[in-house]
Amino acid sequence: MAKKHKPNNVLPGFNLSLGYTLLYLSLIVLIPLSAAFFKTTELSFAEFWHTVTTPRVVASYKLTFGASLFAAVINAIFGLLTAWVLTRYTFPGKKLVDALVDLPFALPTAVAGIALTAVYSTNGWIGSLLEPLGVKVAFTPLGVVVALTFIGLPFVVRTVQPVLEDLEAETEEAAASLGANRWQTFSRVILPALWPALLTGFALAFARAIGEYGSVIFIAGNMPMVSEITPLIIITKLEQYDYTGATAVAVVMLIISFLLLFAINGLQWWSSRRNSASRGT
């Protein structure tokens, strides 16, 4: 009878493994993160609100969220293109290209930062070509977009690629035999199937970009009101020993990040449900 109530109790180690998981999670993640929320209680709500809405901080939100959104859109479009090319076509060096797509996950952000700055500054390889056109990238908000595009590059490719590989050729053949041309097949048959994965990759790239620090500070120029990102505001406040101010801005970012995390989890749940549903039929 007892077995019926706890059918999963056959294997040992449940209490030990779950206990250790919860302990370690609390010590490393939950208690430290709660410190940020406790620290802000030192401020009254009016003080908190004033700290997180000064013009310089608001300008940094606009840059951080605007540039992250812009970069995530670039990554959605070109990530879809890259995933498509990598799954559908063959060309020399394809395997190498496929492996290198993950470079932003493996390359330290500081290295990415100085490399992008070297390439996109006015005497760099690409920057020197753009300067005659009147486009300045390094030390402008555009530089922030470039760095955030680099950071978010693998997300869309790696979420879309497996879905594209799993698509049944039969549905496309059916569309073709019913008289759809290739573009119609893509926009009405393939794209709807990719939509959840594409949106998930977009959200992951966006979430990663919002918190990014290392790759941005080298290329941004960090001018207050113009090219100063929110994580840098936190660092600046910390260096001035304004711990409560730094924490107040951090809490705003934390809340936004948590909301994004829940949205992403919802998206992934939706996308896996849709995939299994389409496979079932």
Partner 1 sequence: MSAIVSQLAHYNAKVARSRATSEPTWVRWTLIISALLFLSLFLFIPLAAVFTEALRKGFETYIAALVEPDAVSAIQLTLIAAAISLPLNLVFGIAAAWAIAKFEFKGKSILITLIDLPFAVSPVIAGLIFVLIFGLQGWFGEWLIDNDFKVIFAIPGIVLATVFVTFPFIARELIPLMQAQGKEEEEAGLVLGASGWQILWHITLPNIKWGLLYGVILTNARAMGEFGAVSVVSGHIRGLTNTMPLHVEILYNEYNYAAAFAVASLLAFLALVTLGLKSYIEWQSGRTASANEKASDQ
Stretch that binds partner 1, among 52-60, 122-130, 158-166, 273-281 (CB under 8 A): 122-130
Q: How far is CA 46 from the centre of its chain?
A: 32
Is position 63 an interface residue for partner 1 (rule: CB under 8 A)? no
Stretch that binds partner 1, among 48-56, 167-175, 192-200, 273-281 (CB under 8 A): 167-175
Among 2, 46, 99, 133, binds partner 1 (CB under 8 A): 99
Among 69, 115, 164, 226, binds partner 1 (CB under 8 A): 115
Judging by beta carbons within 10 Å of its beta carbon (0-12, 13-18, 19+), is residue 151 exposed, middle or buried? buried
Among 51, 60, 149, 161, binds partner 1 (CB under 8 A): 149
Is position 36 an interface residue for partner 1 (rule: CB under 8 A)? yes
* Contact (CB, 8 A) for 71 and 149: yes
Is position 228 an interface residue for partner 1 (rule: CB under 8 A)? no
Among 58, 66, 114, 224, binds partner 1 (CB under 8 A): 114
Q: 191: which residues sit within 8 A by CB, 6+ positions away?
A: none
Number of residues that bind partner 1 (CB under 8 A): 91
CA angle (145 as vertex; 201, 100 as ends), nearest 5? 55
Smallest gap from Cβ 176 to partner 1, in A, equals 4
The residue (of 58 and 168) whose beta carbon lies closer to partner 1 is 168
Is position 194 an interface residue for partner 1 (rule: CB under 8 A)? no
Among 20, 49, 54, 188, binds partner 1 (CB under 8 A): 20
Judging by beta carbons within 10 Å of its beta carbon (0-12, 13-18, 19+), is residue 22 exposed, middle or buried? exposed
**How many whole angstroms separate alpha carbon 64 and alpha carbon 209?**
8
Phi (first) and psi of residue 98, to 5 degrees: -60, -45
Among 73, 119, 164, 226, binds partner 1 (CB under 8 A): 119
* Contact (CB, 8 A) for 210 and 253: yes
